[in-house]
Structure 1
């Protein structure tokens, strides 16, 4: 299969030492502006709401104490925030850190049959796997080889759920979510000085307050000091947790983050992103959290046009997101009920609206006829949109595999003349 065009499209994207192409790294003051702050807040609210509840449910399945649950939340949010801050300052790109949401979901079942000390050992081993793959450069080489349209189709399929979720949120709460969506488009059309995502969030929150929809959530977590768990290493935990978790971090989170950054014209430092995810995974594991890595959804929100017209300044949204994640991690025991008090529909609709620019860019690049990967890209799209899970690995990874296999069988890749 010839993929000269797609390779050329991503050539040079793996060094990562320079900032966004054609742009000089801008000062921090310029990067922290109304658009970047509002988008960073949206990304943080998204990451600290529903995903936190998944982690709490996994902790309940493992019968963890409140102190162990708080330690888990501290590890993934505080370290995830540090990853965001560090990557943004180092590379001047909106590379966000968090944790694998699907990884937390698979632990709901996995923790039922393992001691938590075994799970902690598995978390550390998972981080080590990712770290080794980053140091050896395997992931960077793979990203060079993968055709750009298939990567973009995977991104579109993986992130389209945000757009669908926004539509469903409007159906569930037509007044609140509908008002937020309407204000978003009106402001985008008529009020250029105000970030549409900020206006949508403010109006949606005001409507939710007026309708009495903001209610503190009841969750089984206390405001206590974190309790850390000593790891134990077993083969069962390695195969049940370490391997699938590492695959999710690389195939779902890092791949998504890399793809959305490419879609927005950045040159992501793939090796550094993978190594950072590995180190974050090992440190978070030692603290009792399942991983702290580069995050796909938060990177997509913070790299979108909603974070600013100048791509060189959008890293400011990642800094805001990182600071808020750190604060949430430090005060998780007391913060969780208040964050979960926000209506889910409001967070979902605002996050979906923020994704519009990224989704458009991904679709446009995925089905660019001149690159010649349309069928493979379509297969990658539908697989990524599905709930396919094989060998504990979720759909985005298999979307890349399926797209490449189909394109190879059809000998796609030659430009249409």
Structure 2
């Protein structure tokens, strides 16, 4: 295999990983810290998702000779970051384990996948948009306190989206980090380079955590990652058994969840980097690009402690803007899909607003109430649908 590996395979694999990490690592760290994880435990979260994504990417790509790229759910991380308040770290870990079981169950039975397909996509994308909108709003609040940093990052975002869309987040990290360093708010002198050791975190379960964390995380992962991921593969004229992918990623998620692996699923947007002509003119050899990506995933996981130290050292305004800018594209797409179906708009709007409100009632968080209220509204306006 090594004699078939080319520079384009390696560069495409590296680009895919850079896109994935730069778009979501801040959000994952926020989710872990929001759940009460210490910096060492946060490192374990990144270790777990890196190793899980790397191993499944390499295995499936070699098994089917198809560029299969797995990852973790960025919207899922955002969901946890906004929903873990009031839940302990052990409950969060338990919720992630239950989500993994739901993914596995979806892979072995048609009934659950059929149930998911019956939920109008307008409602699930509206729920996703409602989860992410608070992050989008917070992108612009640092304008008052750090105008130079904000304007620099906004300019970097606009230039990146206009000329280098694939590397926009990398440009944002470089520009934001440089400005923060010049302003003296980013101390880098104490940064250390070390290999991460996974940390076991005991799970506990509660009805509230399963309803408020597990089920929304499952729906978000399926709707925003796994389904678009298989569509991405098929759009490039490749074919892989979707149930087998769900089983493999679900079991890996189950194994790594006690160490912080909150999700393991198909990649969507970044996967396309390994499937295009830039990876290899020959479609039959492009799987080597995703194999390369898998190796970079594992390396990133092994040295995730250093990555955590870097992002923890960043000023809160910088990480807040990085997280917000990373999610703007997903927010835009979710809003478009949510409001695209005229018959489902009322229900989608109700779902969006209730989810974005952040309300909690009888221990159940806003995304669940939003989806339920939106579904009832949708059935009221479309009783025969």
* TM superposition score normalised by structure 2: 0.69
Counterpart of 1:179 in structure 2 is: 152
The 5 Å alignment of 1:313-332 reads 326-332=298-304
Contact map agreement 2:9 2:292 (CA 8 A) in 1: no
Counterpart of 1:144 in structure 2 is: 117
The 5 Å alignment of 1:97-176 reads 97=72, 101=77, 111=88, 127-176=100-149
Contact map agreement 2:160 2:171 (CA 8 A) in 1: yes
Q: Quickly say closer, same or farther: Cα 1:281–1:408, change in 2 above 3 A.
A: same
Out of 330, 348, 358, the residue aligned to residue 358 of structure 1 is 330
Q: Quickly say closer, same or farther: Cα 1:208–1:98, change in 2 above 3 A.
A: same
Helix, strand or coil for the counterpart of 2:132? Answer: helix
Which shows bigger deviation, 169-178 or 82-91?
82-91
Q: State whether structure 2 residue 225 is matched by structure 1 residue 250.
A: no
CA deviations 1:23-58 (Å, max 9, x no partner) are: xxxx97398189646523412532453334335x24
Contact map agreement 1:154 1:399 (CA 8 A) in 2: yes
The 5 Å alignment of 1:63-102 reads 74-83=47-56, 92=67, 95-97=70-72, 101=77
Which shows bigger deviation, 398-407 or 360-369?
360-369
- 1:172 and 1:308 map into 2 onto residues whose CA distance is 40
Counterpart of 1:21 in structure 2 is: none
The 5 Å alignment of 1:259-338 reads 271=243, 274-276=246-248, 278-285=250-257, 288-289=258-259, 291-294=261-264, 302=270, 326-338=298-310
- 2:229 and 2:143 map into 1 onto residues whose CA distance is 28
In the TM superposition, residue 408 of structure 1 has moved relative to its aligned partner by 0.4
Out of 1, 9, 32, the residue aligned to residue 29 of structure 1 is 9
Helix, strand or coil for the counterpart of 2:313? Answer: coil
Counterpart of 1:345 in structure 2 is: 317
Out of 182, 202, 214, the residue aligned to residue 186 of structure 2 is 214
Contact map agreement 1:94 1:316 (CA 8 A) in 2: no
CA deviations 1:140-174 (Å, max 9, x no partner) are: 21232122322332222222233212112434422
Q: Quickly say closer, same or farther: Cα 1:127–1:262, change in 2 above 3 A.
A: closer
* TM superposition score normalised by structure 1: 0.65
In the TM superposition, residue 367 of structure 1 has moved relative to its aligned partner by 1.6
- 1:49 and 1:178 map into 2 onto residues whose CA distance is 24
- 2:319 and 2:261 map into 1 onto residues whose CA distance is 24
The RMSD of aligned alpha carbons is 4.9
Contact map agreement 1:300 1:358 (CA 8 A) in 2: no
Contact map agreement 1:34 1:195 (CA 8 A) in 2: no
Contact map agreement 1:372 1:412 (CA 8 A) in 2: no
Q: Which structure's residues are more often helix, by fraction?
A: 2
Counterpart of 1:398 in structure 2 is: 369
- 2:294 and 2:100 map into 1 onto residues whose CA distance is 20
Contact map agreement 2:142 2:150 (CA 8 A) in 1: yes
Counterpart of 1:384 in structure 2 is: 355
The 5 Å alignment of 1:40-59 reads 40-47=20-27, 49-54=29-34, 57-58=36-37
In the TM superposition, residue 340 of structure 1 has moved relative to its aligned partner by 1.4
Contact map agreement 1:70 1:224 (CA 8 A) in 2: yes
Counterpart of 1:198 in structure 2 is: 170
Aligned length: 362
CA deviations 1:220-255 (Å, max 9, x no partner) are: xx98855657x79xxx74647566553243134434
- 1:175 and 1:360 map into 2 onto residues whose CA distance is 26
